[in-house]
Amino acid sequence: MTGKIQITLKNGREFCSDQDETILESALKQGYSIEHSCKTGTCGICETTILDAESKAIVGEKILTCCYKPSCSLTIDSEYFEELKDIKSQVSPAKIDEIVHRTEDVLCLFLRLPPRVDFKYLPGQYLDLIVQGTKRSYSIASKPREDKRIELHFKKVPDGEMSSKIFAPISAGQLVQIEGPKGTF
């Protein structure tokens, strides 16, 4: 059995973390959206500084909240984003509603979600597009709309796995999947 550890954000918000969970996992489970993106340590968006801790030896250390499992109570230089509290990531089917070729190697896809899907997001968030088993992350290029259309932009990558599925064979009406929204804004 692991103990609960108190995590305090710089704006005074507090939550408990288990020793076997990362700070980010604990925060998100309890509805505290702190800055993050990839959740694997690759992007570095969740990097923060330990401002105070029971163990004074770690004060001032830079950590990634998506990787760091705390061993003592601490205060970190991260904020809680109230705007994200009701936004939950989900997997949903989407239909390609429109394809607009901007240039020979740039196109815009407009996706339409089913009426029953409540896909809330904020400008600056991204999603994963899944086409025929290939999954890639793309920034959402449109603001939330009443008609549930989502705009994504693509640049053709020579020999790119997703490019080969998007630039030639894709057509309006085709079903794809999305997973998101992801990240902070």
Compute the distance between CA of residue 139 and CA of residue 137 in angstroms, rounded to an integer.
7
Mean pLDDT of 90-95: 95
The pTM assigned to this predicted structure is 0.71
pLDDT of residue 88: 82
Compute the distance between CA of residue 68 and CA of residue 106 in angstroms, rounded to an integer.
39
pLDDT of residue 1: 38
| pLDDT, tens digit, 9 for 90 and up, residues 150-164 | 999 999 999 999 999
Closest CA to 95 of 43, 133, 59, 131: 131
Show the tokens assigned to 105.
């190697």
pLDDT of residue 138: 94
Q: What percent of the chain has pLDDT over 70?
A: 98
Average pLDDT, the chain: 90
Compute the distance between CA of residue 138 and CA of residue 99 in angstroms, rounded to an integer.
16
Mean pLDDT of 92-96: 96
List alpha helices for the chain, DSSP H. Answer: 23-29, 161-166
DSSP count for the chain of H helices, then E strands: 2, 11
pLDDT of residue 185: 62
Closest CA to 11 of 83, 75, 79, 61: 79
pLDDT of residue 2: 54
Domains in the chain (CATH in brackets) are 4-84 (3.10.20.30), 90-182 (2.40.30.10)
Backbone angles phi, psi at 82, to 5 degrees: -55, -35
Amino acid (1-letter code) at residue 94: A
Cis peptide preceding 181, ω within 30 of 0: yes
CA–chain centroid gap for 181, Å, is 6
Mean pLDDT of 161-169: 87
Residue 36 has pLDDT above 90, yes or no: no
pLDDT of residue 85: 75
Residue 56 has pLDDT above 60, yes or no: yes
